[in-house]
């Protein structure tokens, strides 16, 4: 049972630039914890909805290399490498995507049940909105977007994924051979991915949905991106996500499967503090309190393995948006968002509401930061897992990566409600 199954609206939250420079918290360390099934997690107090000034603080500026909406050169270089684009093409892509999240949210609200989803097409550089009726399609002609008529509304597709989620919770054995399900907005379908050889069996379960559901197979089961703990390895082999603060107390956001509530964390024998709350499966996030402030300093920065970039706020970006992620195993890698609100059925239990992308993620990267690179550096979520072969991402075998992060659009409102934390921004 999840704490909050509602799909957040796409949005942008931006933080003001401040002047106090504080080093980033670049830590990892704790003892391993087995996967645990949480009690029902209550919904965070959204106080009437998400607002652009909620859950952030600009009092920490950190390294200003990526402040003021500027994307750090190391991130631009990684985007060029991982998206196979020239420097000019990356610049054009980021320019084309300015304002897309806000537009998507506005159109979803205006179109209501006629809204079929939206996505950014990298080939054409266009933003496409799917609609189920001719009238709204004509009305969008002045919105400078491409429209596509579809047979199923996004609300209908979301209701199907919700029913599959409920079936999984009620009868896990019925979906034991199913790896994940997600909405592919460009195909106007729910895509159910099964273990190899199981598509026919699962097709019978979803036959009543008709062409709204497509069943595919994969030879690669999803795995959490957590490495084994050996002597000297740090923080369960996981990575720190984003730095948070409540009053004068520092925290950081990371993956829930990295440790259980009450478990202590440390790096190289130096204590950091405990997991004060942790959720996995169902969700995959956790809050760690930094008790040893004398040994660890925090700021609104993430380490890219060549320097730091400053986090300017947080988003819940649209499909097609470029994102980058940083972790102790793969360093800095980049990709694009390929699906939203996906249910991933790990061996340890299902996680709901995940964002899928195609950056490389490997064991040890769990809990690390994922951020939107359009117009700056905006927190998106913490790394959960990926499809891997022998602990390596699929690109190393000539295939497209399949990776997931747990969205900060769910985590931050929840922990703000319970612990009063806000995201450190610069």
- CA proximity to 285, closest of 243, 327, 257: 257
DSSP-assigned states of every residue in 184-199: ETTTTEEEEEEETT-H
**Cα angle, residue 104 at apex, residues 2 and 9 outer, rounded to 5°:** 20
The tokens 């931006």 sit on which residue? 14
Question: Which pair of structure tokens corresponds to residue 151?
Answer: 């047979």
Strand, helix or coil for residue 163? helix
Residue of 285, 315, 319 lying closest to 50 (CA atoms): 315
Q: Which residues are catalytic?
A: 257, 284, 366
Cα dihedral angle (351, 320, 313, 356), rounded to 10 degrees? 10
Is-contact 31 401, C-beta < 8 A? no
Backbone angles phi, psi at 94, to 5 degrees: -65, -35
Name the residue with tokens 């047979």: 151
d(CA 132, CA 18): 46
Closest by CA position to 349, among listed 282, 405, 402:
282
SS3 389: strand
Q: Which two tokens stand for residue 64?
A: 């200003």
Beta-sheet strands, E only, within 77-125: 115-121
Among candidate residues 261, 250, 273, the one with its CA nearest the CA of residue 62: 250
Question: In 173-296, at which residue ranges do the beta strands (DSSP E only) sit?
Answer: 178-184, 189-195, 213-218, 222-224, 242-246, 249-254, 264-267, 270-279, 285-290
Query: Which position has the token pair 């996995």?
Result: 280
Short-list 334, 378, 373, CA closest to 357: 334
How many distinct helices (H) and strands (E) make up the chain? 7, 25
Question: Tokens at residue 405, please?
Answer: 């992060």
Contact 327, 225 (CB under 8 A): yes
Q: Decide: residue 231, CB within 10 A, 0-12 exposed, 13-18 middle, 19+ buried.
A: exposed
Determine the Cα–Cα distance for residues 64 and 240; give it in Å rounded to an integer.
20
């Amino acid at each position: 049972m999840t704490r909050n199954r509602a799909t957040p609206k796409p949005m942008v939250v931006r933080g003001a630039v401040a002047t106090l420079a504080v080093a980033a918290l670049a830590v990892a360390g704790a003892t391993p914890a087995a996967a645990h099934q949480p009690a029902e997690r209550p919904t965070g107090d959204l106080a009437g909805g998400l607002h652009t000034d909620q859950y952030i603080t600009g009092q920490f500026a950190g390294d200003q290399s990526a402040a003021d909406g500027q994307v750090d050169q190391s991130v631009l270089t990684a985007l060029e490498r991982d998206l196979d684009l020239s420097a000019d093409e990356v610049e054009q892509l980021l320019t084309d995507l300015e304002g897309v999240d806000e537009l998507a949210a506005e159109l979803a609200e205006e179109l209501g049940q006629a809204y079929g989803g939206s996505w950014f097409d990298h080939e054409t550089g266009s933003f496409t909105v799917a609609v189920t009726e001719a009238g709204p399609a004509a009305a969008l002609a002045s919105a400078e977007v491409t429209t596509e008529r579809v047979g199923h509304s996004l609300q209908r597709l979301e209701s199907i994924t919700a029913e599959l989620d409920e079936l999984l919770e009620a009868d896990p054995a019925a979906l034991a051979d199913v790896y994940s399900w997600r909405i592919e907005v460009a195909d106007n379908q729910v895509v159910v991915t099964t273990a190899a050889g199981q598509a026919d069996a699962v097709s019978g379960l979803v036959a009543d949905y008709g062409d709204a559901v497509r069943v595919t197979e994969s030879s690669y089961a999803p795995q959490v991106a957590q490495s084994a703990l050996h002597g000297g390895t740090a923080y369960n082999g996981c990575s720190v996500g984003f730095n948070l603060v409540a009053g004068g107390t520092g925290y950081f956001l990371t993956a829930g499967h990295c440790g259980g509530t009450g478990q202590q964390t440390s790096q190289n024998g130096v204590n950091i503090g405990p997991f004060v709350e942790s959720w996995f499966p169902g969700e995959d996030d956790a809050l760690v309190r930094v008790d040893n402030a004398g040994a660890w300093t925090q700021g609104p920065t993430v380490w890219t393995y060549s320097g730091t970039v400053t986090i300017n706020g947080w988003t819940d970006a649209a499909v097609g948006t470029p994102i980058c992620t940083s972790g102790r195993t793969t360093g800095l890698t980049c990709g694009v968002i390929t699906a939203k609100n996906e249910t991933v059925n790990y061996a340890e239990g299902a996680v709901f509401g995940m964002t899928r992308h195609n950056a490389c993620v490997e064991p040890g990267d769990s809990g690390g930061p994922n951020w939107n690179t359009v117009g700056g550096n905006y927190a998106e979520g913490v790394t959960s897992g990926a499809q891997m072969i022998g602990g390596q991402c699929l690109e190393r075998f000539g295939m497209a990566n399949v990776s997931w992060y747990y969205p900060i659009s769910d985590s931050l409102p929840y922990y703000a409600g319970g612990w009063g934390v806000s995201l450190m921004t610069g």
